[in-house]
Amino acid sequence: MLASPKKKHATAGNALFLILIAVALFAALTYAVTQSGRGSGTISSEQAVLTAAQITQVGAQMKHAVSRMVILGTPVTDVSFEHALLTGYDHTPVATTQEQLFHPDGGGITYSAPPAAWLDSSQSGETGYGQWHFPMDTCVEDVGADDTDCWIDGLDNEDMIAMLHYIPKDVCLAINRQLEGIPETGGEPPLDSGCSWDAKFQGVFGGDHYGISVALNSLDGHMFGCYRSLTTECGSKGNYYTYYHVLYPR
């Protein structure tokens, strides 16, 4: 039986009404997010969550690329972070294009400088601002096979890690809120017990210098997260927030 013209018109009208509601809600949400970031000089909660998701997505992409390179036969020590926009990552021995994370023949990751919205502009004069950082002598407890006290045990078990320093506090908190069991104290992320600013990875792990070991060991076992460092611990670098992502646990 054919539907009556009235029923046809009613169905079409209902569909159009629902579409108009969806468009109106989307417009309202877009306006709210846009307006919330204006005038106050602070980042809105919506912007913080969005930025946190973008940052952790880049970290995850690098992690997956490194894992793929290792699975295909590149030893982790041969993975190179060389790129025209980065300094201090000249690999020894010289890396082939297949061993470079930021090359189409290797990891296939396109390196881009972090957007301004990902960073705390008040720290723009500091060393390493606006660059990803890949240390040689850093580890996170309990993410690898031999990571207990990994920064003082004398073993060659440092992790391959990507870091982004000087992100806004609200973004740091949003990153940690994606995870479980990371406490906040007085509205602050976990406080770091040292500084992760030593040698860059150039093909050799080592140094037993730095472990991401913060108050209450709250980042132990977490492949990514965010912490706070203080002026008294980090010299001129000041009070800042760092996102880290373990690209390859050892």
- Give 44-102 pLDDT, tens digit per residue: 899 999 999 999 999 999 999 999 999 999 999 999 999 999 999 999 999 999 999 99
* In-domain check, residue 109: yes
Mean pLDDT of 121-135: 91
pLDDT at residue number 10: 44
Assign 212 a pLDDT band (cuts: 50, 70, 90).
confident
Lowest mean pLDDT among 16-25, 45-54, 103-112, 197-206: 16-25
Q: What is the pLDDT of residue 250?
A: 83
Average pLDDT value for the chain:
80
Asked whether residue 19 is domain-assigned, the answer is no
The vertex-67 CA angle with 209 and 139, nearest 5°, equals: 15
Of the pLDDT bands very low, low, confident and very high (cuts 50, 70, 90), residue 30 is very low
Q: Where are the beta strands (DSSP E) in the chain?
A: 138-140, 160-165, 210-212, 224-229, 240-248
* Residue 34 resides in a domain: no
**Cα torsion at 84, 88, 89, 90 (round to 10°)?**
90
Helix axes 5-36, 45-71, angle to 10 degrees: 90
Q: Side chain identity at 50, as an amino acid letter?
A: L
- The reply to whether 5 falls in a domain is no
Query: How would residue 17 be classed by pLDDT, with cut points 50, 70 and 90?
Result: very low
User: What is the chain's percent helix, strand, coil content, to nearest 5?
Assistant: 35, 15, 50
Residue where the block lists tokens 């972090």: 114
Band (232; pLDDT cuts 50, 70, 90): low
Q: Print the domain residue range for 65.
A: 45-248
pTM: 0.79
Name the packing angle between helices 169-176 and 45-71 (round to 10°).
60
Does 39 fall in a domain?
no
Helix, strand, or coil (residue 204): coil
Neighbours of 193 (CB within 10 A): 15
pLDDT of residue 158: 85
For residues 91 and 4, what is the distance between their CA atoms, to the nearest angstrom?
Answer: 75
Q: Is residue 82 a part of any domain in this protein?
A: yes
Structure tokens at 240: 């800042």
Residue 218 has pLDDT above 90, yes or no: no
> What local confidence, expressed as pLDDT, does residue 67 receive?
98
pLDDT score at 66:
98
Straight-line distance from the first to the last Cα atom of the chain, in angstroms, rounded to the nearest whole number: 69
74 domain residue, yes or no: yes
In a domain, 143, yes or no: yes
Report which DSSP code applies to 104: T
Residues 161-171, mean pLDDT to the nearest whole number? 95
Give me the number of domains the chain comprises.
Answer: 1
Q: Between 155 and 26, where is the model more confident?
A: 155
* Beta bridge mates, 32: none
Q: Does residue 196 have a pLDDT over 50?
A: yes
pLDDT at 207: 66
- Evaluate if residue 41 carries a pLDDT over 50: no
DSSP structural state of residue 191: B
